[in-house]
Amino acid sequence: MTRRKFLAYLGRFAVLFALVGQAFAMLRSIVPNVVYEPPKKFKIGFPDDFSEGITFLSKYRLFVIREGNTFWTISAVCTHLGCTVNLVTFPKPKKVKVGKREFTEQWEFHCPCHGSKFYGEGTPFAGPAPRPLPYYPLDLAPDGQLVVDTSREVKSDFRFVLNV
C-alpha cells in the first residue's frame, strides 16, 4: 500500500467515524435522561403497625397520627426550604389558640434549619415557614395496608376512619 492510499483510507475512516459519532449523539438526544422519582402514592403499613398517638416515618418524612380507629397524616417537610421537622412532645398536653380555634396539643414540630415552629396541627407560629405543614389523604389498599397519596393535599380536618 502506498503512502497516498493509506492517507486516503485514514481520511475516509476519520470522516466516517465523525459521522457515526454525530448520528449517535443525535439519536441519543431523543432519549431523555429520566430521573425516576419515588412514587407519590405508597403503602405505609397495616393499621395495627401504628400505636396510639404519633409515629414518625423517616423513610417517607411523614407523621402518622392514630386515635383509636381514626388515622391522619402530616408531612414532616418544612414549608420553608424543605428540611425535616423534629417532633417535640410535651409531658403534659398544652392549650393553644390558633386564630379563633382553641385546641389541646401534645406535641409541636420544630424545624432545625431556620427555626420555624409549627403547632401540633401544622400551623406555623414562629420562623420563616410561610404555610402550614400539608396533610395527605389516607386510604386502605386491598391487602389491608394504609395508603398515602402525597400527590395531593387535603384539609387539616381530614380523617381516615377504619371500619372494623
Using CB under 6 A as the criterion, which residues of the chain lie in contact with ligand FES when the complex forms? Answer: 78, 80-83, 111, 113-116, 127-129
Quote the least distance from Cβ 79 to ligand FES, whole Å.
8
First to last CA, the chain: 89
Quote the least distance from Cβ 121 to ligand FES, whole Å.
17
Q: With contact defined as beta carbons under 8 Å apart, do 70 and 52 qualify?
A: no
Quote the least distance from Cβ 24 to ligand FES, whole Å.
43
Give the β-pairing of 146-149 and 41-45: antiparallel
Residue 83 or 154 with smaller CB distance to ligand FES:
83
Residue 76 or 138 with smaller CB distance to ligand FES:
76
* Alpha-carbon distances of 58 from 30, 63, 150, rounded to whole Å: 37, 9, 15
Q: With contact defined as beta carbons under 8 Å apart, do 92 and 82 qualify?
A: no
User: What is the rounded distance in angstroms from the CA atom of residue 138 to the CA atom of residue 121?
Assistant: 16
Query: Rg of the Cα trace of the chain?
Result: 28
Quote the least distance from Cβ 111 to ligand FES, whole Å.
3
Residue 66 or 80 with smaller CB distance to ligand FES:
80
Residue 128 or 137 with smaller CB distance to ligand FES:
128
